[in-house]
Amino acid sequence: MSPFIAEIIGTAILMLLGSGVVANVILNETKGNSSGWIVITVGWGMAVFIAVFTVGQFSGAHINPAVTIGLATAGLFDWGLVFPYILAQILGAFIGSSLVWLAYKDHFDATEDGPTKLAVFSTAPAIRKYSSNVITEAIGTFMLVFGVLYITAPGFLSVDGELLSVIVLNGEEVGFGLGSLSALPVGLLVLGIGLSLGGPTGYAINPARDLGPRIAHALIPFSNKGSSDWAYSWVPIVGPIIGALLAAALYLIL
């Protein structure tokens, strides 16, 4: 599997299971309706675990433009691969969220509130104050990328035996990406971020996770859809990128 295809598939899995748990909890007449924030955060942690476990061996399982940019800034990923990775991640997020709509179509029809439907696709703040929302997203993503840089297990190789993200430590080449943490630690890291920092903004901590599904929401025709809230859409892009850059900067300083 090529790294580009792996990033599409990995991000699609992330969104299928991540947005899927949100749909199960907040849409009307589902079996999991109103089961709460703990179910959502555990579901997202499992979504990351499964996505990383599936494609980590092929692409490093960045599945997040902020991770890709952070690793490139830290000198651990080829800048020439950044744009293809980000494009693949946005496309995968679009596909995964579209599949959630298809799986829950009857429940979207049974739900009248537009913002509730949008929440299955994209994030929104509990209190809309853009400066604070950006800071929250930056802090959450900082923790994610900092974890990627320092929880990483050595020895990760891509499918063709070449390292896509490389640093030399004690004469040994070490690969970086969510896949290099191994699936369980990164799933627990995202679970912890969601439980501790997810309340203000819904912890996008991933520009593709928000932008791809927001595009899907805008394009898929369904009743009582409401606004795609493009006025907020820049926050889950700018905040995570700032957080990733700060994590990379601290890594370089340390």
Tell me, what CATH number does 109's domain have? 1.20.1080.10
Query: Which amino acid belongs to residue 48?
Result: V
Report the share of the chain in percent with pLDDT over 70: 88
More confident residue, 137 or 151: 137
Q: How far is CA 77 from the centre of its chain?
A: 18
pTM > 0.95:
no
Are 202 and 87 in contact by the 8 Å Cβ rule? The answer is no
Span 155-178, mean pLDDT?
47
Contacts of 83 (CB under 8 A, 6+ apart): none
Domain that holds residue 67: 3-253
Residues in the chain: 254
Using left for φ > 0, alpha for ψ between -120 and 50, and beta otherwise, residue 60 falls in: left
More confident residue, 53 or 194: 194
Residue 112 has pLDDT above 90, yes or no: yes
Structure confidence at residue 238 (pLDDT): 98
Query: What is the 3-state composition of the chain as percent helix, strand, coil, each rounded to the nearest 5?
Result: 65, 5, 30
**How many structural domains is the chain composed of?**
1
Q: What is the pLDDT of residues 44-86, one digit of tens each?
A: 999 999 999 898 878 888 999 999 999 999 888 889 999 999 9
CA dihedral 140, 242, 202, 213 (to 10 degrees): -130
- Assign 174 a pLDDT band (cuts: 50, 70, 90): very low
What is the DSSP code string of 154-175?
A: S----TTS--SSEEEETTEEEE
- 252 CB-contact burial (10 Å; exposed 0-12 / middle 13-18 / buried 19+): exposed
- Residue 105 CB neighbour total at 10 angstroms: 12
Lowest mean pLDDT among 10-14, 87-91, 183-187: 183-187
